[in-house]
Amino acid sequence: MAGDLRFLDSLKGKRVVLTFHSLGDVDGVAAAFALKNYLGERALVVPADRVTSLSGKLLAHVGFSLDELPQSAASASAASPSARAPYDALVVLDCNSRMLMGRFSNEKPYAVIDHHSLHTDPLGSRNEFINPSYSSASEIVYEFLRERQGQKPLDSRIALLLAAGIATDSAGFRSSREKTFTYMGELLAQAHTEYGDLLELLEVPLNISERVELLRACQQAKVERKGNFLLATSLVKSYEAAAADALIALGADVAFVGYAGDDARISGRTTLHLAHTIQLTEIMARAGKLLGGSGGGHPAAAGATGPKKSKLKQALALCSKLALERLG
């Protein structure tokens, strides 16, 4: 594995911008700070737009701060993708979709490191490591650092972030390899943290707006039955991913939840035992195309996004139709 990412070694000591998908989650943020620590003090962690509240909480806990894109780089990015940026390389983590790259959507990255399935709007990097068999970008980065650093332990703060990235993106280890458990044990030891303490740190109480929206999603859900399977679809004003998770927790075997804001988004979920039958990533790719964007993700959790908000209900109907067909 380390050989597959050997292109990173050439970046040590250089001006590197490390980034991740829009609304950066714990996994992307953790992987970026781990690589920043490896590459040296000239590396910057710059979000595509902003990060989640949980990501912000964890960064505050370890005392790390996000970096600002140099003003000249921001101007160059906005003006033209061919303009010369004042850094040596852009490395994208936890994302391989141009639609999800925010301020960096017009740039061609030096490298892409991701664990999601391939999207239909690739970033077109000359150096790519995209492997959905990994639980998270954090696991990919830790495996690389583990092989590079040998017996030398990681900074405890980096170890804690990587452990959090794996815990949150592996869906509680439901999408994990055998090695994932080994790596988590090593990271917890290096972070001087027990797993229960990590879970407590990762808890974020639902605010009143999120609770209202989740209840509304359940109240308005359309439920279809195919044999012994239940499929639920709904529309929300926000928190579509959490709403899809909630529908699965309440008994749906497959769930699709749509949202129309600045763009149209659909979050899809399925139970693990149906993941390979439903093939959510393929369904999301087709829904994303209908929305004028892209789609992809994981076998049991995927999403689609695009600018065509008027097509959202049609895209939701397509998701439902395709899933019901695959349920036999």
Task: Kindly list the domain boundaries of the chain, sorted by start residue.
Answer: 2-201, 210-326
Q: Which of 273, 264, 276 is nearest to 307 (CA)?
A: 264
**44-82 burial code (b ≥16 CB/10 A, e <16):** bbbbbeebbebbeebbeebebebbebbeebeebbeeeee
CATH number given to 210-326: 3.10.310.40
Do 210-326 and 2-201 have the same topology in CATH? no
What is the dotted CATH code of the domain comprising 2-201? 3.90.1640.10
- pLDDT tens string 252-294: 999 999 999 889 999 999 998 999 999 999 999 999 999 999 9
Give the contacts of 277 (CB within 8 A, at least 6 positions apart): 326, 327
What would the mean pLDDT of 150-166 be, rounded to a whole number?
A: 95
pLDDT attached to residue 115: 93
In the chain, the percentage of residues whose pLDDT exceeds 70 is 95
**Cα 235 to Cα 204: distance, rounded to the nearest angstrom:** 24
pLDDT at 297: 87
Tens of pLDDT along 65-89?
999 987 655 555 555 554 556 789 9
Q: Tell me: pLDDT of 177 over 60.
A: yes
Q: What pLDDT is attached to residue 70?
A: 77
Q: In this predicted model, what pLDDT tens digit does every residue of 213-248 receive, in sequence order?
A: 999 999 999 999 999 999 999 999 999 999 999 999
Calculate the alpha carbon distances from 11 to 14, 39, 116, 140 in Å. 5, 7, 24, 17
Question: For residue 309, is pLDDT > 90?
Answer: yes
Across the range 289-312, mean pLDDT stands at: 93
